[in-house]
Every structure is written in structure tokens, then in C-alpha cells.
């Protein structure tokens, strides 16, 4: 279904509710440049760290696209244990229908990430999820992710990011809005969504993300892909 959520005057802040969930796959593909490529890369990188019986957790899994694609791409690995965590019931309704349709077994947990025990993981994904975690809690979450990984495990995450310079930041955001226009979003839809996301989606710079990762104890962190204001990182424990 085509995303028309912000085609009308907004009444509330952005939420992962039933309306957003019902068009979310279209929203992501048209709102995040190279969404599919960053997902493909996330999975390809994860595959290098997978072995039989591995535990893989997707924090903020939304409609479970990443876990479903991962299951399809790693058929030669036996007994993958897939966990999708999300606090939006609406997202997980779509996720479980999609997983059933693709015949992929995923354990879905509908709760806040902070309440869920995902210890002994081999791979943890959080694609476009950290940006929705309050800055005051973000470091605590990164530490929890670090503690929950087995040694040698990896944390793979994508984020919307800020530039260091205010001038460049404005230019990069203009470039991003041009991308959205080319995807068929009107100026009105773009500005309504920008307002709805204010103080809800809080991006960090590349350096801030890397600093947080290093301070949690990860031995390596690489930015693997970047388009203007979106980036994919991998961190190794
Ligand atoms: C932008 S979406 C993630 C997209 C998805 N990872 C993908 O690549 O297709 C962010 C998701 O994180 C979930 N989320 C945000 N904060 C959360 C929290 N504290 N606990 C659990 N889920 C959360 C939202 O419900 C939403 O589904
Ligand atoms: O920043 C924006 O305007 C976006 O539309 C990006 C973004 C994201 O990065 O998660 C914001 C909300 C939705 O989850 C889909 C895409």
C-alpha cells in the first residue's frame, strides 16, 4: 500500500501505530535512500559471523523484513534462532503475517527493548532504531547490546546522521528532501512529517555514534555505507 500518512494535517507526533504500520514497507523504501542496499549489506555482513544454532536479534524489527531476508539468504546454516523485538503491536501483527507467508520462524517479542533479555546473541541488528531512543538512554542501550553479545559477536546498525557543520547539515537535508520529492512525496507531506518527527527522531553525528560504540567496549567500529545523511555501521565485540 502507498504511504499517504502525511498527506493530511498532522494532529500528533510521529508514532509507529496501525496507520504507519499498514504502509511501512512502502514508507521505508521511499523515505530511506538505498534502504534495500543497506539491508542487503547488513545481512551479508551478518552472514560472515553466523554459525549453526546462532542467535540473531533484531531490535526495532518493525515488519521483520531484515530477519525474513536473512533467513532466505542463509539456508545452509542450521537452526538459526531469530528474535524480533518491537514495542509496536501493529508492526508485529504485520511482521508475524509476513513471516508466516514466507515460512520463516521468528520469535516475536512485543515490549520495550529495555525490558527484553536478549543475552547470548551472536548478531544484533538495530536498523534505524537507535535514533528513536531518548539520548539520555541511548548509551545505556548500547551497553546492554554490548553485554548481550557473545565475544566475537557483532552489532549492525543503520542510522540517519547529522553533519558536523551546520551549513553542510542544512545542505544535506535539502538533498535528502529532493530525494523524497523524487520518490513522489509532496512538499506538504515532507514538511508534515518533519514536524511530526521533531524531538522523536534524534540523529547523532557519525563521530557521536562511533564514540558511543567505542565507550561501550566494542573493539572495532566501521561505517560501511553512507548516502548523504544515512549510514550503516558494524561493531565487533
Ligand atoms: C524505523 S523503524 C525500524 C525499521 C526496521 N529495523 C527495518 O530496517 O525495516 C523503528 C522501529 O523501532 C521500534 N521501537 C522504537 N523504540 C523502541 C523501543 N524502545 N523498544 C522497542 N521497539 C522500539 C518502533 O516501533 C519501530 O517499529
Ligand atoms: O527522517 C525522515 O523524514 C524519514 O522519513 C526517515 C525515517 C527513518 O529514518 O526512520 C523516519 C520515520 C520512518 O520510520 C521512516 C523513515
Ligand-binding annotation for 62, yes or no, is yes
Q: Which residues of the chain have pLDDT under 70?
A: none
Q: From CA 125, how far away is CA 136, in angstroms rounded?
A: 21
Q: Whose CA is nearest to atom 14 of ligand 2?
A: 28
pLDDT at residue number 8? 85
Question: What residues does each domain of the chain span?
Answer: 18-236
Q: Is the CB of 43 under 6 A from ligand 1?
A: no
110 C-alpha to ligand 2 centroid (Å): 21
Give nearest CA residue, ligand 2 atom 3: 194
- Which protein residue's CA is at the shortest distance from atom 11 of ligand 1? 60
Tens of pLDDT, residues 18-60? 999 999 999 999 999 999 999 999 999 999 999 999 999 999 9
Asked if 36 and 230 touch (Cβ cutoff 8 Å), the reply is no
Q: How far is it, in rounded angstroms, from Cα 161 to Cα 131? A: 9
Q: The domain 18-236: what is its CATH number?
A: 3.40.50.150
pLDDT of residue 10: 84
Rounded-to-integer distance, Cα 68 and Cα 98, Å: 8
The answer on whether 26 is annotated among ligand-binding residues is no
DSSP symbols for 87-116:
S-HHHHHHHHHHHHHHT---EEEES-GGG-
User: Which string of DSSP letters, residue by residue, matches 216-228?
Assistant: HT-SEEEEEEEET
Amino acid at each position: 500500500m502507498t504511504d499517504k500518512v502525511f498527506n493530511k494535517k498532522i494532529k500528533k507526533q510521529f508514532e509507529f501505530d496501525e496507520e504507519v504500520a499498514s504502509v511501512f514497507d512502502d514508507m521505508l523504501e521511499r523515505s530511506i535512500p538505498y534502504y534495500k542496499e543497506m539491508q542487503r549489506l547488513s545481512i551479508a555482513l551478518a552472514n560472515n559471523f553466523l554459525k549453526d544454532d546462532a542467535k540473531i536479534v533484531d531490535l526495532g524489527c518493525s515488519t521483520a523484513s531484515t530477519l525474513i531476508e536473512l533467513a532466505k539468504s542463509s539456508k545452509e546454516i542450521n537452526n538459526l534462532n531469530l528474535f524480533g523485538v518491537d514495542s509496536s503491536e501493529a508492526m508485529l501483527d504485520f511482521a508475524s503475517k509476513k513471516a508466516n507467508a514466507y515460512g520463516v520462524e521468528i520469535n516475536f517479542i512485543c515490549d520495550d527493548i529495555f525490558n527484553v533479555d536478549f543475552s547470548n546473541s551472536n548478531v544484533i541488528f538495530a536498523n534505524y532504531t537507535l535514533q528513536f531512543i531518548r539520548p539520555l538512554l541511548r548509551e545505556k542501550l548500547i551497553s546492554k547490546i554490548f553485554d548481550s553479545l557473545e565475544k566475537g559477536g557483532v552489532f549492525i546498525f543503520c542510522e540517519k546522521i547529522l553533519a558536523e557543520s551546520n551549513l553542510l547539515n542544512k545542505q544535506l537535508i535539502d538533498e535528502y528532501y529532493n530525494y523524497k520529492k523524487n520518490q513522489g512525496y509532496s512538499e506538504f507531506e515532507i514538511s508534515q512529517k518533519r514536524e511530526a518527527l521533531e524531538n522523536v527522531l534524534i540523529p547523532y553525528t557519525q563521530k557521536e555514534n562511533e564514540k558511543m560504540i567505542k565507550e561501550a567496549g566494542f573493539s572495532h567500529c566501521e561505517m560501511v555505507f553512507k548516502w548523504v545523511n544515512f549510514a550503516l555501521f558494524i561493531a565487533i565485540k
